[in-house]
Structure 1
Amino acid sequence: MAPEEQSKTQFLQISRLDSIKTKIIVFALLATIIPTVIMGWVSYVQNRRFLSDNIRQELKVVTAQTSREVGLWLQRKLNDARTYTVSDTVLKYREKVFRTDTPHIEKVDAQRRIRDYFRSLLGKFDEYEELILLDLSGKTLATSAKKVNPLKMPEKWLETARSDDHIIGKPYFDQASQIPVMVIATPILAGRNRIMGVLAIKLNFQAIGLMLKNYARDGEVDLQLITQEGILLVSSQPIPLKSFRKIMVEKTLDRLFSKERVPLKYTGYQGKAVVGTLKKVQDLDWGVVAEKDRQKAYAEIIRLRNLTLGLFAGVLLLIGLCAYLLGLSIVRPLVRLTKGADKVAAGDLEVDLPVLSRSEVGYLTQVFNHMVARLRKGREQLAAANEALTEKNKELEILSVTDSLTGLYNRKHLMESLTGEIGRSTRYERPFSLLIIDIDHFKKFNDTYGHLAGDEVLRKMGEVFRESIRGCDYAARYGGEEFVIVMPEIGRDQGVQAAERIRASVAKEKIDASGNSVTVTISVGVASFPEHGDDAQTIISKADTALYQAKRRGRDRVALASNGRKKKRKKAAK
């Protein structure tokens, strides 16, 4: 015995892998571990993907709904501001407030009445911090506040007001109320082209905060309204704001705004790992951010993973015990032979059992392997014979539908295919064109150069036609020197153009005839379905008539069939 084989035998003896019980246990454990690990991993990946898709969809839906509601809220406030400018109180007293020549007592009374009207609006809407009436210089003429407070109007607000557009200011932190606010305004018009001033409203984000809480789904999602600079305006979580606070680093902020509605993983403003997405608010540089705590979001998948590991350990222990008990009752060589015989009976002839001893069982194994080898060789020979027979049948099938000289389809196959094309074109109400081609003076050519040269002309025609038509077109030898080409999805005008192209291609071809380079010409008759007929015989007849018209006109030309359906209707009328 070679040293390598001795070392292998010693290893098997020491590791007890030569024992049938040990091998069965190892095999059973491997057969359990590999599929279980694969299935467990696949299940874990699929469940994680499913959960990620759910989280992604949930965040996208929440941000889309909230963003739309924020936009609608702002639009409502702008519409309200426009409505207030044409209210009875403002219309009645605005002239006295804005005119410089109004008596002082009347102006003070008008300002008081507008102020009282503004204060009545404050009691109806919690998001109103202050309503202000401004002239074109930005001076406060009337306000709902007890005293005139500084008001941050956006740049070029006067130009926006003169164009009769809404004025939307950027959010800022109001020191007086210690909350984030924003200013919206709308122009007060005295006529179509004359602006008197603007009505401005200082808004807080209380209503948006309630809106975010409603969409936060009982705290499962943290919703925030932020600016494009990363400034937090309001959140669904109770966060005290004593000043403007930037809650995101530039890199995360750029990713959220550039990859809108795409869930991203990052560290949230509270220092926790989150998964979140952003949806921009229409016509504003704000964004609604929806975040979920990653640990809470994937808690279910972690629990499922731990459960899978527990089940895997239990199954592994159970299978190992069963394999050990089974190994005690099985004789290794007989089991191997039995399994080999079962495979052969099932049709698997790739069985080759190892001969590990010179005993009776070893000899029996040799005989078994020899028998399987002969069966395998016989099956291979039979498979080779079947394959050769299949190839011959394919060749016969091709020969039965093609013309041996030109390589084109024969007349029998043409009629079958033409009938099928008529059915298809009728069903889908689509046209097709049929070309009948005849070689001019072919008999004279045969008489002059011989039949071998004539056969060369026919073969050359087959090559030219195959090269000149589309992959969906059909070319066949109709008989003698006549050919038929069927061109689906082509009307009569396109059919004539195709025929002219084929005629020109044939005229260019040089043919070797008994050492002479000669050219031949063709005449073509064109008919189309359904214009010239709705059955094979009629269409071929019309094309054939057109062919003979081409020959009577001097050959080497294309002729289009006359409209046969009109003639049929005239005959039917008679």
Structure 2
Amino acid sequence: MVNNVDKFDKIKALDTEKGNKIKSTISAPIFIERQLYGFVNVDSIYNYAFDQTDLEVMEYMRNQIEIAISKHKLYEEIVYLSRFDKLTNVYNRRYFEELFDTCVNKTNELEKKILLVVFDLNELKVINDTYGHLAGDELIKTFASALGKCVRSSDILARIGGDEFVGIFFDVDSQTLVKRFDKLIKKFENNPITFEENNIICSFSYDIANFPQDGNDVNKLIKIADKCMYEYKYMIKNMHKLS
């Protein structure tokens, strides 16, 4: 509380809109989780405009504002955690299923085409066992970030398991998606991830299911794409063993 601003050379108070000088001020800092969030200021064009009662009122206001902001931030965090995967910042499975149902209803009205793609990181367990789970987490985050750049704003991407992701793609044919994801595979091959001086290649498999030809339920579509993908991975492993 400063009741005579003119006496303090270091205080530069702004004039009011009418050009009047600020003569008294009360300033209350707002702290959220021990971090300075901002200030609440009350000014007057008169000297000695505030007393101890005003200071107590300002303290009460400051406390109430801190409580309100803290509750709002907690609410935002709860909403975020209910919708997003914390590690990758893409949607989680529960919210993905909600979005799928909403999108299907709209798409049926507009008669748009939907493709569902399941992605799975290759050899994540080997990487975790060799370099540690932090390396595995880095691989997952790098993959999610790169895959997110292949997804249009109208599409939907989610993490549905430890190393498994799913995407919904609208009004696009499977050949276009295959070209897009094969290009990403080659990009990862040419740009290994560096983790604690170790170079790790991010490798993934994927497969595509059509809505509604392959099914009209999200879990059924994921199961179909999953089955095709793992059959492909099994075939590739056998080829490597034979060679």
What TM-score does the superposition give when structure 2 sets the normalisation length? 0.68
Which of 136, 139, 143 aligns to 1:457? It is 139
Shift of 1:553: 3.5
Query: Hey, what's the Cα distance between the residues in 2 that align with 1:353 and 1:455?
Result: 58
Query: Hey, what's the Cα distance between the residues in 1 that align with 2:55 and 2:44?
Result: 8
**Alpha-carbon contact 1:432-1:491 (below 8 Å) kept:** no
AA matched with 1:428: L
AA matched with 1:515: E
Residue aligning to 1:42: none
**Which whole-Å deviations, capped at 9, do the CAs of 1:49-77 have from their partners, x for residues lacking one?**
xxxxxxxxxxxxxxxxxxxxxxxxxxxxx
> CA 1:500 to 1:552, structure 2 compared with 1: closer, same or farther past 3 Å?
same
Counterparts of residues 12-411 of structure 1 (less than 5 Å): 371=53, 374-411=56-93
Q: Match of 2:149, SS? A: helix
Q: Which has the larger radius of gyration?
A: 1
Which of 180, 183, 189 aligns to 1:501? It is 183
Query: Hey, what's the Cα distance between the residues in 1 that align with 2:89 and 2:112?
Result: 29
Query: Hey, what's the Cα distance between the residues in 1 that align with 2:142 and 2:73?
Result: 28
**Which whole-Å deviations, capped at 9, do the CAs of 1:252-276 have from their partners, x for residues lacking one?**
xxxxxxxxxxxxxxxxxxxxxxxxx
- 1:480 paired to 2:162: yes
Q: Match of 1:479, SS? A: coil
**Alpha-carbon contact 2:158-2:165 (below 8 Å) kept:** yes
Which structure carries more relative contact order (alpha carbon 8 Å, separation 6+)?
A: 2
Residue aligning to 2:35: none
Which of 200, 209, 232 aligns to 1:550? It is 232
Shift of 1:378: 2.6
**Which whole-Å deviations, capped at 9, do the CAs of 1:29-88 have from their partners, x for residues lacking one?**
xxxxxxxxxxxxxxxxxxxxxxxxxxxxxxxxxxxxxxxxxxxxxxxxxxxxxxxxxxxx
**Which whole-Å deviations, capped at 9, do the CAs of 1:157-202 have from their partners, x for residues lacking one?**
xxxxxxxxxxxxxxxxxxxxxxxxxxxxxxxxxxxxxxxxxxxxxx
Query: Hey, what's the Cα distance between the residues in 2 that align with 1:400 and 1:518?
Result: 32
Shift of 1:507: 3.0
Residue aligning to 1:418: 100
Query: Hey, what's the Cα distance between the residues in 1 that align with 2:155 and 2:229?
Result: 20
Query: Hey, what's the Cα distance between the residues in 1 that align with 2:46 and 2:142?
Result: 63
Q: Match of 1:480, SS? A: coil
Which of 194, 199, 206 aligns to 1:512? It is 194
Counterparts of residues 530-549 of structure 1 (less than 5 Å): 530-549=212-231
Question: Which structure shows the higher helix fraction?
Answer: 1
Q: Match of 1:388, SS? A: helix
> CA 1:525 to 1:483, structure 2 compared with 1: closer, same or farther past 3 Å?
same
Residue aligning to 2:123: 441
Query: Hey, what's the Cα distance between the residues in 2 that align with 1:502 and 1:419?
Result: 29
**Alpha-carbon contact 2:143-2:202 (below 8 Å) kept:** no
Query: Hey, what's the Cα distance between the residues in 2 that align with 1:472 and 1:406?
Result: 19
Gaps of 5+ in 2: 1-41, 238-243
Residue aligning to 1:361: none
Shift of 1:412: 1.6
Query: Hey, what's the Cα distance between the residues in 1 that align with 2:127 and 2:112?
Result: 40
AA matched with 1:545: K
**Alpha-carbon contact 1:464-1:506 (below 8 Å) kept:** no
Residue aligning to 1:432: 114
Shift of 1:471: 2.3
Superposition RMSD in Å: 2.9
Q: Match of 1:554, SS? A: helix
Query: Hey, what's the Cα distance between the residues in 1 that align with 2:108 and 2:187?
Result: 32
**Which whole-Å deviations, capped at 9, do the CAs of 1:368-400 have from their partners, x for residues lacking one?**
x76566435533431232123212221232123
After TM superposition, what 4+ stretches of structure 1 lie above 4 angstroms from structure 2? 350-355, 369-374
* Aligned residue pair count: 195
Q: Match of 2:205, SS? A: strand
Shift of 1:526: 0.9
Shift of 1:401: 2.4
Identity of counterpart residues, as a percentage?
25
Query: Hey, what's the Cα distance between the residues in 2 that align with 1:385 and 1:371?
Result: 21
> CA 1:505 to 1:398, structure 2 compared with 1: closer, same or farther past 3 Å?
farther
Query: Hey, what's the Cα distance between the residues in 1 that align with 2:161 and 2:120?
Result: 10
Q: Match of 1:419, SS? A: helix
What TM-score does the superposition give when structure 1 sets the normalisation length? 0.31
> CA 1:523 to 1:381, structure 2 compared with 1: closer, same or farther past 3 Å?
same
Gaps of 5+ in 1: 1-349, 356-365, 556-574
Query: Hey, what's the Cα distance between the residues in 1 that align with 2:97 and 2:190?
Result: 30
> CA 1:445 to 1:381, structure 2 compared with 1: closer, same or farther past 3 Å?
closer
